[in-house]
Each structure stands twice: as structure tokens, then as C-alpha cells.
Chain A
Amino acid sequence: GAVVSQHPSWVICKSGTSVKIECRSLDFQATTMFWYRQFPKQSLMLMATSNEGSKATYEQGVEKDKFLINHASLTLSTLTVTSAHPEDSSFYICSASLTTNYGYTFGSGTRLTVV
């Protein structure tokens, strides 16, 4: 149980376009989801905390206008990278916190390449 599905698993887009990444909780309700960014062989950097029905809380240094987060339902959070540039190329991972045992479950990640 407690599976998070992340889609797409990889995407290539042109510079200047926007890309949407979806994170769904399949068998539970996720009131809180987290979005991370991971560079090769590096750690997960927390970008923002997404709360259902309210605005996301962004970490210091993360541009909220560039990385739009929407958490309109208890099973879906989306991250939209707007006007993407090559430096936005990275691995993006979502996570949901579990109210049953206060653990966390992670999506499989999305590899974004901006050309």
C-alpha cells in the first residue's frame, strides 16, 4: 500500500516551454506532498511543501513563479516548470507524507531535459 505514482517518468522539452509533472497517491489520501530536485549523484533538495487546498510553501531560493505547484485534490499534486531553460534540467521527485504512521513514500521521479 501507500503508492505514489509520478508521471511522466521522463520528458524532453524545448527551451521556453512549460512542462507539467503529476504526482498521484494511488491508495491513500495525501494532504501533504513534497517536491524535490535531485542532481546526478547528489542529494534530494526540497523545493516546496504542497498542502491540499492551500498555497504551497517554497524553500528559500526556489522561484515560486517558475515552479508552480497545485494540490487541488487529496490524491493529486502537480509541479509545472514554466518557461523552462536548460539549467532546469534535473530529476524531480515527489513524496507524500502518510498520516497512518507519519512515514513518507516517494514517486519514481521525472527526468526533465530542456534543450
Chain B
Amino acid sequence: AQRVTQPEKLLSVFKGAPVELKCNYSYSGSPELFWYVQYSRQRLQLLLRHISRESIKGFTADLNKGETSFHLKKPFAQEEDSAMYYCALSGNQGGKLIFGQGTELSVKP
């Protein structure tokens, strides 16, 4: 079964501090993994996906198949990064997307 776990409900850091949002997954095959961000009162937006291996807004995420993790990192958090972050998994391209519980990131000045 597909499952995505984000252990932290809330992560609070100061501006300029490093950030790591944890994501672990359970899937028997080779999944596609995504990070989505939801700013206040806005729709869900794609932040990055593991197959692209690109950095968006300074965020990066590396797929670790051994640890079944896809943690999201940013070296220096900014106040505008405050939002809900969701890790998501798809078992096959274009197939259903399953979300983790979400982590609320709060970046304080």
C-alpha cells in the first residue's frame, strides 16, 4: 500500500536558519515523489519532484531509497517560506497521488 508520513505537524524556525522537513514513504515499487506547497488562501503548488532534481526557491530534496525518505531542505529559511508543505507519492506516472499529513512551516523574523 502507498503511504506517506510527515512526522512533524509544525516546524518553527528563525529567519536564516536551516530547514529540513521530513518525509518517509512506504511503497513496494519505484515511486514518484513530490513536494507541494500551499500558501495561505492559495491553491496547492508543485515545489519540486524527485525526477527533475532541480532546486526551486532554494529548496532541494533527495530521494533516499535505502531509508525510503524524501526530506525537503533549505539552507537559509525566509519569512515568505511560511506555508503548509505536503510530501506526496505516486505509484505510477499520472496515477493517483497520495499525500502525507503536511507540515506547517513557520519562519519567524
Residues of A at the B interface (CB closer than 8 Å) are 32, 34, 36, 41-46, 49, 93, 95, 97-99, 102-104, 106-109
The answer to whether A99 touches B44 (Cβ under 8 A) is no
Given A43-B101, A99-B94, A102-B94, A93–B86 Cβ distance below 8 Å? no
**List of A residues within 8 angstroms of B104 by Cβ:** 41
Contact A43 B86 (CB under 8 A): yes
> Taking chain B's interface residues, is the majority helix, strand, or loop, or is none over half, making it mixed?
strand
Contact partner of B96 (CB less than 8 A), chosen from A34, A103, A108, is A34
Residues on the A chain within 8 Å of B96, using CB = 34, 46, 49
| Residue in B32, B43, B44, B45 whose beta carbon sits within 8 Å of that of A102 in the complex | B32
B44-60 interface (Cβ within 8 A of A): 44-46, 49
- Tell me which of A41, A46, A99, A109 contacts B97 (CB under 8 A): A46
Distance, CA A108 to CA B39, complexed state (A): 12
Task: For A103, list chain B residues within 8 Å (CB).
Answer: 46, 49
Q: Return B9 CB to nearest CB of chain A, in Å.
A: 8
With A44-B86, A102-B90 given, can you name 15 additional A-B contacts, CB distance below 8 Å?
A: A41-B84, A43-B99, A43-B100, A43-B101, A43-B102, A44-B44, A44-B99, A46-B96, A95-B44, A95-B97, A97-B94, A102-B32, A104-B90, A108-B43, A109-B43
Residue-wise interface mask of B (8-27) relative to A, using a CB-CB cutoff of 8 A (1 in contact, 0 not): 00000000000000000000
A109 to B98, CA, bound (A): 17
In the bound complex, how far is the Cα of B92 from the Cα of A99, in angstroms?
12
Tell me, in angstroms, the Cα distance from A98 to B100 when the chains sit together.
21
* Chain B residues whose C-beta falls within 8 Å of the C-beta of A106 in the assembled complex: 43-45
B93 at the interface (CB under 8 A from A): yes
Contacts of A32 in B (CB 8 A): 94
Nearest-CB distance from A67 to chain B (Å)? 16
* Complexed CA–CA distance, A79 and B86 (Å): 24
Shortest Cβ-Cβ A-B pairs, 7 listed = A102-B93, A97-B94, A106-B44, A108-B43, A44-B99, A43-B101, A102-B94
